Amino acid sequence: MMEAVKVLDAKGMACPMPVVKTKKAIEEIESGEILEVHATDKGAKSDLTAWTNSGGHELVDQTEENDVLKFWIKKS
Amino acid sequence: MENNNTRVAIIAANGGMFDAYKVFNIATAAAASDKEVGIFFTFEGLNLIHKEAHKNLAMPEGKEHFKEGFEKTNVPSISELLEMAQEMGVKMIGCQMTMDVMNLEKDDFVEGIEVGGAASFIEFAKDADISLTF
């Protein structure tokens, strides 16, 4: 898997902050690069997936361990 | 990032803390998803952008016990959400008529808002893909 160029720690944040912070973080990377997001908000699972789709980005991978959701988003 | 030009028009007509969360959560989530967002604040909804009032909005009567839940869940404050919304370019229109009735001036509100009448909102909302009222 491609290496993330940036990691966003959104753990402990409640809706809608994970999405808002992800939006800001993705603006700081280049098209084709990968942003890794860590979140504990259970809603982030569907929210970040929906957000990724709506922005035309690609959800490359997603994991869940010890209540931490991890997302790898490739910028469009 | 692509801008898909989806427009979200929101009317904020109530001024409690829960109302503020409903309005600003949807607005910031939409703005973060590259939607074009505009909010028309009217009547009690003006509390949400009032310089002082927005910092201390009331919980619905009998629901004060949710305060603890808000803290535990680490929900952002209304001030933070308002700031985020403005940073992301959410258009905010304060209702001129309500301001006149309540004897409020533009200076009583947070910076960056516009003041306009219902027609200003309708002009924005006529091309909206999503319209919401809170």
pLDDT band, residue B5 (cuts 50/70/90): confident
pLDDT of residue B63: 93
B22 or B5: which leads in pLDDT: B22
What was the pLDDT predicted at A9? 98
Mutation to test the A interface, candidates B1, B28, B83, most A Cβ within 10 Å = B1
Is residue B90's pLDDT more than 80? yes
SS (H, E, C) B25-79: HHHHHHHHCCCEEEEEECHHHHHHHECCHHHCCCCCCCCCCHHHHHHHCCCCCHH
Q: Does B84 score more than 60 pLDDT?
A: yes
Q: Report, as an integer, the average pLDDT of B100-113.
A: 96
DSSP 3-state of B131: strand
Does residue B85 belong to any structural domain of this protein?
A: yes
Residue B1: inside a domain, yes or no? Answer: no
> Whole domain around residue B113: which residue ranges?
7-133
Contact list in A for residue B73 (CB cut-off 8 A) is 14
CATH code given to domain A6-74: 3.30.110.40
Beta bridge partners of B38: B9, B91
Domain ranges of chain A: 6-74
Burial of residue B23 (number of CB atoms within 10 Å: 0-12, 13-18, 19+): buried
* B61 within domain boundaries: yes
DSSP, residue by residue, B98-117: HHHHTT--GGGB-TT-EEE-
Asked whether residue B2 is assigned to any structural domain, the reply reads no
Judge whether B24 lies within some domain.
Answer: yes
Is the pLDDT score of B3 beyond 80? no
Mean pLDDT of all residues in B53-78: 93
C-alpha B76/C-alpha B86 separation (Å) is: 15
Chain B residue numbers with beta carbons less than 8 Å from the beta carbon of A26 are 1
Higher pLDDT, A2 or B112: B112
Averaged pLDDT score across all residues of chain B:
94
Tell me whether strands A68-74 and A34-39 are parallel, antiparallel or unpaired. Answer: antiparallel
CATH classification of the domain holding B74? 3.40.1260.10
pLDDT score at B4: 58
Give pLDDT < 50 ranges for chain A. none
Check residue A1 and give its pLDDT.
Answer: 61
Query: What percent of chain B has pLDDT above 90?
Result: 93
Average pLDDT over residues B29-50: 97
- Yes or no, beta carbons of B29 and A12 under 8 Å apart: no
What pLDDT is attached to residue B75?
Answer: 93
Question: Pick from B2, B4, B32: which is nearest to A51 by CB?
Answer: B32
Which residues in chain A are closer than 8 Å to B33, comparing Cβ atoms? 19, 23, 50-51, 54-55
Band (B88; pLDDT cuts 50, 70, 90): very high
What's the pLDDT score for residue A28?
A: 97
Backbone dihedral angles phi then psi of residue B5, each to the nearest 5 degrees: 60, 20
Residue at B123 is within a domain = yes
Confidence of residue B2 (pLDDT cuts 50, 70, 90): very low
